[in-house]
Amino acid sequence: MRVLVTGSSGWLGQTLVPLLEAAGHVVTGLDLVPAPTTHVTGSITDRPLVFSTIAGAGIEAVIHSATLHKPHVATHSQSDFVAVNVQGTLNLLEAATATGSAVDRFVFTSTTSLMISAEIRAGRAGGATRAAWITEAMTGLRPRNIYGVTKLAAEHLCRLAHEQHGLPVVILRTSRFFPEADDMAHAIPQSDANTKANELLFRRLTVEDAAAAHLAALDRAPGLGFDTFIVSAQTPFAPADCAALITDAPAVVARYFPAYPMIYDRLGWTMFQSIDRVYDASRAAERLGFICRTGFAEKLAGLAAAS
């Protein structure tokens, strides 16, 4: 299949493009920044470039991972976010559905961030008595920043393209996989690695798993028609744990992983005292046939073997 990957020079793109090529696909990478995984240098906000690239390369599938994301909130304007995340997505969808286009599937990299309101983010400090158990069934979404607002708007454009043109679209609401340090109040100041390991319990996945999820979505898109999935490392927790997670997360983690306190002690690591939300990725396992290979259990095993 001839696949266009936007954001091909980014953290995800540089993992995704070789994976697609290894699977036998012919990839055209599009990004503002030159890289070995990028073949067309330019912006998705450049409408003529988007149309000419899709038509000229005979693109049959689009994986749209180019985005301004959470770390860019501090460095880019709201207008920048609208231009890239909304207008850029519309350019791609319209090119994919234009007369004569060969595109028969579209995979959109979205974010779990758009499901997090200011109240959920405040967690225990905001008076929450339970961690939020988050699934695709959540309604009344109120994203707390321009990143989430523009990604939600882009999701609606994807839905509209499917309804108006029949374009199969799979939306992947990925949890955190970017390499930048966490800016959350619960981050472990002494160790970004500690923070990222903890997050595998409820809100993170590896970039390798993120890339693999996109391959699964590419394969399943025609049969799904239109669907949205949370993609995150499988959590060990259950909804019944949510009250204890907000008040004493270390005790809950120790119930599932009795060896973790000893391993963390050797490393000088700590667990978050409170966990404010859990992303439930079970629907992706059921309908998309995808489960992340790396979660907290695998990370813990690696730490134990190395220490």
- Least confident residue range of 26-40, 63-77, 143-157, 165-179: 63-77
Which tokens in the block code for residue 302?
A: 């690696």
Alpha helix stretches (DSSP H) within the chain: 13-22, 47-56, 78-81, 88-96, 118-122, 146-165, 192-199, 207-224, 242-256, 260-267, 282-283, 296-306
Whether the pTM exceeds 0.75: the reply is: yes
Q: How far is residue 44's CA from residue 87's CA, in Å, rounded to a whole number?
A: 8
CB burial of residue 3 (10 Å; 0-12, 13-18, 19+): buried
Residues contacting residue 62 through CB under 8 Å, at least 6 positions apart:
3, 4, 6, 54, 92, 96, 103, 105, 106, 107
Residue 185 has pLDDT above 60, yes or no: no
> Average model confidence (pLDDT) for the chain?
94
Residue ranges per structural domain of the chain: 2-306
pLDDT for residue 122: 77
Among 1.10.3720.10, 3.40.50.720, 3.90.1280.10, 3.90.45.10, what is the CATH number of 2-306?
3.40.50.720
pLDDT at 126: 75
| Residue 182 in this model has a pLDDT that exceeds 70 | no
Q: What is the mean pLDDT of residues 281-306?
A: 97
- pLDDT bin (cut points 50, 70, 90) of residue 183 is low
User: pLDDT for 124-155, tens place per residue?
Assistant: 777 889 999 999 999 999 998 999 999 999 99
Using CA atoms, how far residue 116 sits from 27, 153, 167, 178, in Å, is 34, 15, 28, 18
